[in-house]
Structure 1
């Protein structure tokens, strides 16, 4: 009996010493849910929700496929974190795709669900913008072959102190821009803050029947107060939430246009982007060539310079031409609404202030001065011509006078000769 007990203890020790090989996140993303659960030692039954999702996946829509991927990725995370993250995601605008990622050890520095990448992200490397709850933007490079973020994502994770067990909601609000909302694994207030930053019209959404409790009402009131506070703080942080010029690159459809645009133009365009805390070119059509995209940015800077140099006497036709130019660029995807708004305001002011009696008298006086200056230029030209004639005639007189003096002396000698 003692020998059998010793053998059982040795077998138990050997089982405890065995270390299950950890799977890389890329390998996990390629596994089916059944394989994933089996690798974790979780029994799989046909009655489980996950197995039902697997049986439906071939016929499911793209959103159902993405839901399945998120179920797999978030399977072993505490339900409270998942529920709070899903609560945020449920309130996002469904027009833009989103997903929830629970931070495992291998996800803290990388990792996007493969299904989401295949559905919504480009099939080549590109530069993405990550915007946090406070509106601060970070650049991160998307590696298509690894279906993950590199470089900039690590900086984002470190600055936001992402830990294993935290939930991150990614909202693809633009083609190359994620709105990132963080839910801490053990802090309910993080959810309140994240929900408070979502600009939603809750009246358009159907409330789940019978599940609106007093606790949710208190939480929404707390969220509303925090949202007002954050809106007051946003303007103070506006000037410090954009990247420096040294880190600023103009990326369109994954192609760097810095070498196609002069340095002086890039600097002016950077000032426009920083003023709006946005990459204005982020929505440009992917079908545009690099040369066309660079021309659009250069012409945008030219129009901005023209706006800055305009005055009260600028013709309305000039404002109209600038506005039509920017309108055409907006049709191609660049964000120039703030410039068009400035043109509209300046055109109205010029039309209003340029119709006063003082302005009319000023314009008439300026016109008369211009006419007088033109006449002075004409008279000066005629005077210069007359002076040239005078100089030419004076030179001729001096030359001819020598011959005349000689002839006159000869005549006088003949006249005074003795009889």
Structure 2
């Protein structure tokens, strides 16, 4: 019953595609997580990996500390080994992620979740981890928000993805600083241009004032009185 409800949470969610050799990872829509886990044969061939035979029972519960190499690594959910849900490529990528945290990232997932759903969560976690590694300063902010929202929903199910969320937060902070720096540089350039225009205008006005001061200074008060008397004389002169 839990599996069915949890599965609905992820329907129509945006998921990231495989990001190798991309400057800006592209988002695509998925109707459900099972499509991510249950890949087509063509997709599996593209990854250049063979897929193991079907799901099988696990003989015992393995602590990650007992995993010494990839050969010892199995993805166990509800007592079932679900390695067959993944290509070798995805298994190796997940193994590397687990090694980085020295634990199975899915070990605290809610009990009773459908194996297909868990496989989809794991596969999407791998995709997002790859997307984070491939991210650039030119990557859209919406992409970061989508990855963060998806990871937070996985974390709510018990997936150990806090380290990916922390990396995303660091990158988003750096992205914000980078974009603010570019905005500040542009504002600075515009302000300097406006300042130059004002300085040129001030120099022009100052030059005009200096000219007028010289011109006015050439007339003393006596000359000014003489001009007024001369004006009246000319004005009143007979025709």
TM-score of the superposed pair, with normalisation by structure 1: 0.29
Residue in 2 that maps onto 1:176? none
Q: 1:355 to 1:313 in 2, by over 3 A?
A: farther
Cα 1:252–1:349 change in 2 (3 A) is: same
Q: Which runs of 4+ in 1 moved over 6 A?
A: 358-361
Shift in Å at residue 261 of structure 1? 0.8
The residue aligned with 2:165 is 340
Higher strand share: 1
Which residue in the other structure is 2:204 paired with? none
In structure 2, the partner of 1:293 is 118
Once the 2 structures are TM-superposed, how far is the Cα of residue 334 of structure 1 from its aligned partner?
1.2
Residues 1:329 and 2:158 aligned together:
no
The yes-or-no answer on 1:317 pairing with 2:142 is yes
**CA shift in 2, pair 1:351/1:255, >3 Å:** same
Q: Which runs of 5+ in 2 are unaligned?
A: 1-56, 187-239
CA distance in 2, matches of 1:286, 1:309: 33
Please name the residue that 1:259 is paired with: 84
| Larger CA Rg, structure 1 vs 2 | 1
Q: CA RMSD in A?
A: 2.2
Q: Does 1:274 align with 2:67?
A: no
- Say if 1:296 and 1:287 are closer, same or farther in 2 by CA, change over 3 A: same
Alignment of 1:99-138 (within 5 A): 127-130=60-63, 137-138=65-66
- The alpha-carbon deviation at position 274 of structure 1 amounts to 0.5
Deviation at 1:305, TM superposition (A): 1.0
Q: Decide whether the 8 Å contact of 2:93 with 2:126 is kept in 1.
A: yes
CA offset digits 1:319-376 (Å, max 9, x no partner): 1110110111111121000000000000000110122238977xxxxxxxxxxxxxxx
CA distance in 2, matches of 1:250, 1:314: 32
Structure 2 length-normalised TM: 0.50
The gaps in structure 1 that reach 5 residues or longer are 1-123, 132-136, 139-241, 362-419
Higher relative CO (CA 8 A, sep ≥ 6), structure 1 or 2?
2
User: Which residue of 2 is the match for residue 306 of structure 1?
Assistant: 131
- On the 8 A contact 1:265/1:301 being kept in 2, the answer is yes
SS at match of 2:136: coil
How many residues align? The count is 130
| 1:115-149 per-position Cα deviation (integer Å, ceiling 9, x unaligned) | xxxxxxxxx96632347xxxxx12xxxxxxxxxxx
